[in-house]
Structure 1
């Protein structure tokens, strides 16, 4: 008997282990569970499974009763592996026998993702060999020692390496799930999920996950106001002097504090935001490429084309046709499709 309902929804299985961090399990259910079509049809079905069904210990004072075993993995379109306390302090790079049997049940072609130190499972299974991946910054050295064949980037929120994805930690698990929804169904669906969850609709995977900050001067505690102002004025040239003025800082101080808070320079961040605005307009409107370029602040179609190609590897027309083609068909963009595979963060 099938674990999943036979209704055509994308099937997500969350593989948990003893020592589970409950919030990471909740993230997957909450984010994917809210994704709907315009007429209210749910787009994903999410189930929790374990190597052996039953009571799973967590890292807090309650347990989780898991109904399904590894049979759910054989049916899943996406498998997500959250972190476990078992991952910390490990001195080997091997899976337990029960986890190895569970991983062997992954359906060929399924998308596989990890949150936080769930990446240890993917690496031990050989799924990250030769790929770029991330994990929690606090476990980075341990990960590098155990899995030298993996290209670890501990300074990013998440990675997408063509169907194998990793997120750095708890909050970036939200970003990763929204990224997968965006790849599957476009910005409108992902943005609505983010709105309901009261989180930012999109953070680039390359954004820094952890930055050691000096103690801030009280009068200069944030660059949030400048970022909010910039987002309202993306369609016109925005200068560093204007951004610094929003926070009553010198350009030099603002630039330093911005990088400390966001992980990239103000100009890099502006380009990222303009690319995201352009992607949204290409997906959700019928505006010409010239108008999209203007509204996103790139000025010309040639400039938009150059920046979009650099960021995600496709032209504006190819990007639009990918999503419009999917919308005209089944309503779902498969992550394994040739065109869509180009738009992941790791592309």
Structure 2
């Protein structure tokens, strides 16, 4: 069973710590076997936000975990506890996957884990992170960064996005979507999206793109263009781009590409349909095009993804 060690020390914020516990505590889909073994690690009883937390084990347990998660710290100017720094370095040297949530990036940076890598943190603190740790390439405009074995998220909601991204990497899109449904959050926001949008997403489906999204989702197998989307939304391409940035935090083509990759993932996981047919169903046209975009986005080929995440069950014809 893959072990996730969640660091807990005085001065950390309770939201990210509690959120990580909620995300990784159980598999609501029943499809991932084995699921994660989540362990909260700390030097003893600690004060996390307004709560007192009793860790399951000591910080030395981090070095024996498969994944180590560092939640947000309240004061980025406070010295990182030496025992936490030592434990983080030991875990990194032992080969653990290292993950920071929000201002937890300051802990990874202080330990040297982020040296030479891209990283992000809450947008209000990206300048401080870049100034304090010049060997870290800080990207202030993304939700999260995945360097393979070292990952970092922006603040709050982006931390949930990164946790779902980890589940997607480990167990596939179907399981990640099931967790997202339990949390009542969007199933997939790509890491390259903007940290925040100029206009909040409306609570009700009365924004200008409310009817466009389902219309496009029903036509992913069609060669849709920005002009097609603009025409359906009854607005100019420039106005469409502005609304997409405000509502979805991305461009129309990036949003469309993300939905097509998600459709391909679902078909790879849940059917035996050929790669050629999946490419057409996802609007990629040919298997070659699908393989190129899929590998660039997901990091593996469609065939490798299917071998890893194919779900047992009735197969559809190819």
Distance 1:309 1:102 in 2: 34
Give 2:315's aligned residue: none
Q: 1:188 aligned to 2:183?
A: no
Deviation of the 1:234 alpha carbon: 1.0
2:188 to 202, 207, 213: 202
Further displaced range: 301-310 or 108-117: 301-310
SS at match of 2:106: helix
Distance 1:81 1:155 in 2: 21
Give CA-to-partner distance per residue, 1:162-195, whole Å, 9 cap, x none. Answer: 2111111111111111111111111222121112
Give 2:44's aligned residue: 53
Give 1:98's aligned residue: 83
Give CA-to-partner distance per residue, 1:20-47, whole Å, 9 cap, x none. Answer: 2111111111111122674686601212
Further displaced range: 190-199 or 313-322: 313-322
In structure 2, the CA distance between the partners of 1:84 and 1:257, relative to structure 1 (3 Å rule), is same
SS at match of 1:47: strand
Distance 1:175 1:276 in 2: 15
Give 1:291's aligned residue: 277
Q: For the Cα contact (< 8 Å) 1:95–1:125, is it kept in 2?
A: no
- Structure 1 residues without counterparts, runs of 5 or longer: 1-8, 329-347
Q: For the Cα contact (< 8 Å) 1:13–1:76, is it kept in 2?
A: yes
Q: 1:29 aligned to 2:21?
A: yes
Distance 2:34 2:19 in 1: 17
Give 1:71's aligned residue: 60
What RMSD, in angstroms, separates the aligned Cα atoms of the two structures? Answer: 2.7
Give 1:225's aligned residue: 211
Q: For the Cα contact (< 8 Å) 2:59–2:84, is it kept in 1?
A: no
Deviation of the 1:57 alpha carbon: 2.0
Further displaced range: 30-39 or 282-291: 30-39
Runs of 4+ in 1 over 6 A off after TM superposition: none
1:156-195 matched pairs, under 5 angstroms? 156-195=142-181
Q: TM-score, normalised by structure 1?
A: 0.80
Aligned residues: 308
Q: TM-score, normalised by structure 2?
A: 0.87
Q: 1:110 aligned to 2:96?
A: yes
- Structure 2 residues without counterparts, runs of 5 or longer: 313-318
Further displaced range: 121-130 or 29-38: 29-38
In structure 2, the CA distance between the partners of 1:239 and 1:212, relative to structure 1 (3 Å rule), is same
SS at match of 2:250: coil
Further displaced range: 14-23 or 103-112: 103-112
Distance 1:97 1:19 in 2: 14
Deviation of the 1:292 alpha carbon: 0.3
SS at match of 1:106: helix
Deviation of the 1:266 alpha carbon: 0.5
Give CA-to-partner distance per residue, 1:44-75, whole Å, 9 cap, x none. Answer: 1212112x211x22333x33233422132132
